[in-house]
């Protein structure tokens, strides 16, 4: 009873001080702050260990600004799932992402208990503590020299796919779902619109359903990517003639398919890249290794962090900065040495 009375008094003080935020416009960040203030009080009262408070605070700090700036009532399961995918793709270990989602679940359940939201949007979001490609370094990449040596040695199908992947930074799901209607070779761009996602063991094309606003983007194609896509289109035309009535036309035609037109799935791309690395004796890379290679080579050659972030479809440039800090730190060091040499001649 005493706690309820104090809660009512605090609510009245908030209204009088004009610090009360109506639930309808309350953001995730505002609710997280409120929740953490309660937890601080619990620590002071001995009801919560400080280690638990610090652990959850650290986990919640990993949430991108693009998510925490959302209105709390607008957050749904798909949005939370998209955040989890972004964190995985930023290079965080699956266990770290799992801990972040667990902390967010506590926050959301408290919001349900307070009647601010009706349901917990983290329910149904699952993160495996151990990734399928955990034997591979999360941020392992190929060098520009390795890529230049590898591509000419591949057969047409592999070369077309890897060239586009390495020169655009597209996700596996986006490569699998890329349709010719979203490729403009005259303008030299691809429009990311239709990812393929795994539903159990089944690959499903989600037409127009990208995982975040930043994922819906237009990517400029360099000459080598344009040429690869032209060759891919010609090769697919030959395949279609050979398949005849057995040809499968997937929702208007996907770019990267099997010989009979069936779509490839994202997991196959990972397995294929790992098999090619083993066959040609180069660094094995994980599920997102092609994207990491694109980003690393781009940053190392002077492409701005913002441009790389936009190409990758990250929801927050901070995700890109954190993921590739090892590259940007090296660039900053090189810049400092260049200035030093210009001023002091050494």
Question: Which of these ranges, 5-9, 97-101, 107-111, 193-197, has the smallest mean pLDDT?
Answer: 5-9
- pLDDT of res. 124: 82
227 in Cβ contact with 213 (< 8 Å): no
- Complete DSSP assignment for 56-96: HHHHHTTS-HHHHTSBGGG--HHHHHHHHHHHHHTT--HHH
Fold classification of 2-113 is DNA polymerase; domain 1 (1.10.150)
Residue 37 token pair: 């203030």
More confident residue, 200 or 334: 334
Say which residue, 124 or 7, is predicted with more confidence: 124
Q: Which residues contact 102 (CB under 8 A, 6 or more apart)?
A: 59
Residues 303, 324 contacting (CB under 8 angstroms): no
Q: Domain 144-333 falls in which CATH fold?
A: hpI Integrase; Chain A (1.10.443)
Is the pLDDT assigned to residue 133 strictly greater than 60?
no
Helix (H, G, I), strand (E, B) or coil at 116: coil
Give the residue extent of every domain in the chain. Answer: 2-113, 144-333
Q: Give the lowest-confidence range in 81-95, 133-147, 263-277.
A: 133-147
The pLDDT of residue 154 is 95
> Please, what is the angle between helix 305-312 and helix 289-300, to 10°?
160
Q: Is the pTM of this model over 0.75?
A: no
Residue 203 region by backbone torsions, left for phi larger than 0, else alpha for psi between -120 and 50, else beta? beta
- How far apart, in whole angstroms, are the C-alpha atoms of residue 44 and residue 36? 12
Q: What is the pLDDT of residues 31-64, one digit of tens each?
A: 999 999 998 998 888 888 777 788 888 889 999 9
């Amino acid at each position: 009873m005493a706690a309820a009375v104090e809660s009512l008094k605090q609510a009245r003080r908030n209204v009088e001080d004009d610090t009360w935020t109506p639930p309808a416009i309350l953001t995730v960040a505002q609710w997280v702050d409120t929740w953490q203030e309660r937890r601080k009080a619990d620590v002071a009262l001995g009801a919560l260990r400080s280690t638990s408070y610090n652990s959850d605070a650290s986990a919640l700090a990993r949430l991108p600004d693009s998510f925490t700036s959302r209105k709390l009532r607008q957050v749904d399961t798909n949005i939370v799932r998209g955040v989890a995918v972004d964190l995985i793709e930023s290079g965080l270990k699956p266990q770290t992402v799992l801990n972040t989602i667990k902390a967010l679940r506590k926050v959301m359940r408290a919001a349900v208990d307070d009647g601010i939201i009706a349901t917990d949007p983290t329910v149904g979001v699952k993160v495996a503590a151990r990734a399928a490609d955990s034997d591979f370094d999360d941020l392992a990449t190929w060098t520009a020299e390795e890529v230049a040596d590898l591509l000419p040695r591949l057969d047409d199908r592999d070369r077309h796919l890897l060239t586009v992947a390495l020169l655009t930074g597209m996700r596996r799901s986006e490569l699998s779902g890329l349709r010719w209607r979203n490729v403009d070779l005259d303008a030299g761009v691809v429009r990311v619109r239709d990812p393929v996602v795994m539903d159990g063991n089944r690959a499903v094309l989600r037409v127009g359903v990208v995982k975040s606003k930043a994922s819906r983007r237009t990517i400029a194609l360099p000459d080598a990517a344009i040429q690869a896509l032209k060759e891919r289109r010609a090769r697919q035309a030959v395949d279609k003639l050979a398949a005849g009535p057995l040809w499968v036309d997937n929702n208007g035609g996907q770019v990267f398919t099997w010989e009979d037109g069936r779509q490839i799935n994202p997991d196959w791309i990972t397995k294929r890249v790992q098999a090619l690395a083993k066959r040609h004796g180069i660094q094995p890379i994980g599920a997102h290794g092609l994207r990491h290679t694109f980003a690393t080579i781009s940053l190392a050659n002077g492409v701005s962090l913002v441009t790389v972030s936009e190409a990758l479809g990250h929801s927050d440039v901070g995700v890109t900065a954190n993921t590739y800090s090892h590259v940007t730190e090296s660039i900053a060091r090189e810049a400092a040495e260049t200035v030093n040499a210009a001023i002091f001649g050494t």
